[in-house]
């Protein structure tokens, strides 16, 4: 089924956006840099208040890897503290991790 002009333009725009994201990530040297840049790109291109990345760890638990954004009061979210608190609920070590954070 051939694409009409509107769909072609939309596809071209999406491909251009993916290329821009790729160019911003290609120079990253650490996984932390990749996560930070990816979250910035998601927020910019999707025009969202908060973006986060979650992955499954080797034990099969979901783990927060990064968060970037602002809260309802337009204050920057402390991603490290937020993820540390969130990740204690996704491990077998809930009790000991919770006690270490509090």
Task: Give 13-65 pLDDT, tens digit per residue.
Answer: 999 999 999 998 999 999 999 999 999 999 999 999 999 998 888 888 888 88
57 against 88, higher pLDDT: 57
Q: What is the mean pLDDT of residues 70-88?
A: 80
5 against 35, higher pLDDT: 35
Distance linking the first and last C-alpha atoms of the chain = 59
Per-residue pLDDT band for 94 (boundaries 50, 70, 90) equals very low
* Overall pTM > 0.95: no
The Cα 76–Cα 21 span in angstroms is 23
**pLDDT reported for residue 99:** 42
Q: Where are the beta strands (DSSP E) in the chain?
A: 50-56, 62-69
């Amino acid at each position: 089924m051939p694409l009409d002009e509107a769909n072609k333009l939309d596809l071209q725009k999406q491909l251009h956006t993916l290329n821009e994201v790729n160019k911003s990530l290609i120079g990253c040297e650490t996984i932390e840099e990749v996560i930070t840049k990816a979250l910035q790109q998601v927020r910019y291109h999707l025009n969202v208040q908060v973006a986060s990345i979650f992955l499954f760890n080797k034990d099969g638990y979901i783990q927060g890897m990064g968060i970037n954004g602002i809260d309802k009061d337009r204050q920057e979210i402390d991603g490290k503290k937020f993820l540390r608190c969130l990740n204690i609920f996704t491990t077998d070590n809930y009790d000991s991790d919770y006690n270490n954070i509090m």
